[in-house]
A and B are shown apart, each in its own frame.
Chain A
Amino acid sequence: MTAPKRAIIDSASRPRLAPSTMLREDKARGGWIILAPERVFTPDAVAVEVLHLCDGVRNCAEIAQRLAATYEAETDVILADIVPLLQDLADKGVIAA
């Protein structure tokens, strides 16, 4: 087995939920949650929307384009927001890329 490496997120990365991570609605408390080993994360509305677009096929640039169309904003501005968000989630093991 090769030594594991930290996933570095950039505009070409194709993020997806990590295996054994679940994104689901929390009916008892309201809102969405991410379930991971010994962790429960409560992503904000923006993060939930981004995570729903992380299918392992779209890259970050394409995710930013989708969001830019929805919100009538600059793609570059959105990309600059979502890359650090996804890097943080990758470091927490929530997403893989």
Chain B
Amino acid sequence: MTSAPAPVSDTSARLAPPVGLLAELTHRCPLQCPYCSNPLELERAKDELPTDVWQRVFQDAADLGVLQLHLSGGEPAVRTDLEALVAHGAGAGLYTNLITSGVTLNESRLHALRDAGLAHVQISLQDVDAANADRLAHYEGAHAKKLRLAEAVRKTGLALTLNAPIHRHNVMRTADFIDLAVAAGARRLEIAHVQYYGWALANRAALMPTRAQMDESIAIVEEARVRLKGILTIDLVVPDYYAIRPKPCMGGWGRGLITITPSGKAMPCHAAATIPGLLFDNVRDRPLAEIWTSSAAFAQFRGTDWMLEPCRSCDLRERDWGGCRCQALAFTGDARNADPACAKSGWHAAFTAAAAAEASAEPPPFRFRRMAAP
């Protein structure tokens, strides 16, 4: 990115409160999925926020108008204070979601979390084929543990979502994921084609499906949505490398979501640290309400004043907000450019061609998600 500061207008007077808070409680995780959305530079346990700071942040979030709290990671259940954190979030009136790999939680902890006020559990699945799932997670027996936890969640009466990150090694089993979700008693399923940030970007050539595979998976979801109306809600995330218009990333920069990293950095999206020059505030140092209205990182790409062409004069600029800043930076070298997923971007043809070339070549070996040696 160039160093020229984007023009920032004072939007604080008419700024709506955020809807969601994504709390990355830790970057520790027993799984090593090569498409992890965490940054390549993972934060360490010694830098994690203590219980009382998280609790203050949750109360501040509720006071600010946040409605949904997403407890994520890494694997949030490696935090031994998870029950206390859930109790505090729920007590503050937040709808509290747990986003888990499902391999470390047992039934008694699950009951404690429910009693603490947890509303919803989302379990990720790597595949429906156990051997392939365990290979992707680089964890022997992970799949069986996940299915056991899903059954335990259903028995507690908590809402259950299954999340299936989709790529070239499991896209052909989209229909099986749907069958599995129904059989497991989930009311919601995410068929989420991998988004290429963090570890997924590093593994893009190993993961990218072909256009035909993507199209088939979309057709399968559309058929199942009709057949399973009232039984299973299926949310579909498509890989934007084959899109014509970009996704409204995060619903627009600094418009609806705050992400807090394990060490307390407040970011407009979980990949924002890849953009050099952004100044992030830490929740240890500054109240959340002030971060929302005044943090430099949130102001940088909020609204439309920062946009270059073709976004600046585009009729859709307040619908897709120019797409994803991180993807614009990664592919064009300037975070202010249009997301290359947009057909109006000068980089779009190269962007799509890169995906098609990788998808039709032999997949390289995975680079598994691991902490670097200290």
Contact = CB atoms under 8 A, between A and B. Distances in A.
A1 B183 contact: yes
Interface in A1-41: 1, 3-7, 18-22, 24, 26-29, 33, 35-38, 40
A4 B235 contact: no
Given A1-B185, A5-B231, A91-B229, A28 B157 contact: no
A20 B119 contact: yes
B67 A26 contact: yes
Contact of A37 (B67, B159, B182, B185): B159
A24 B92 CA distance: 13
B230 interface: yes
B188 interface: yes
A52 interface: no
Given A20-B158, A90-B230, A93-B233, A33 B67 contact: yes
A52 B61 CA distance: 27
B93 A37 contact: no
Contacts, number: 66
A22 B230 CA distance: 18
Contacts of B235: 38
B19 A37 contact: no
Interface string A24-62: 101111000101111010000000000000000000000
Contact of A92 (B19, B68, B157, B233): B233
B182 A3 contact: yes
B187 A40 contact: no
A19 B235 CA distance: 20
A37 B187 contact: yes
A35 B68 contact: yes
28 contacts: A1-B183, A1-B185, A4-B231, A6-B229, A7-B230, A18-B159, A19-B159, A20-B119, A22-B95, A26-B65, A26-B67, A28-B64, A29-B65, A35-B67, A35-B68, A35-B95, A35-B119, A37-B119, A37-B120, A37-B122, A38-B68, A38-B97, A38-B235, A40-B19, A40-B67, A92-B233, A93-B188, A93-B233
Interface of B: 16-17, 19, 64-65, 67-68, 93, 95, 97, 119-120, 122, 157-159, 161, 182-183, 185, 187-188, 229-233, 235
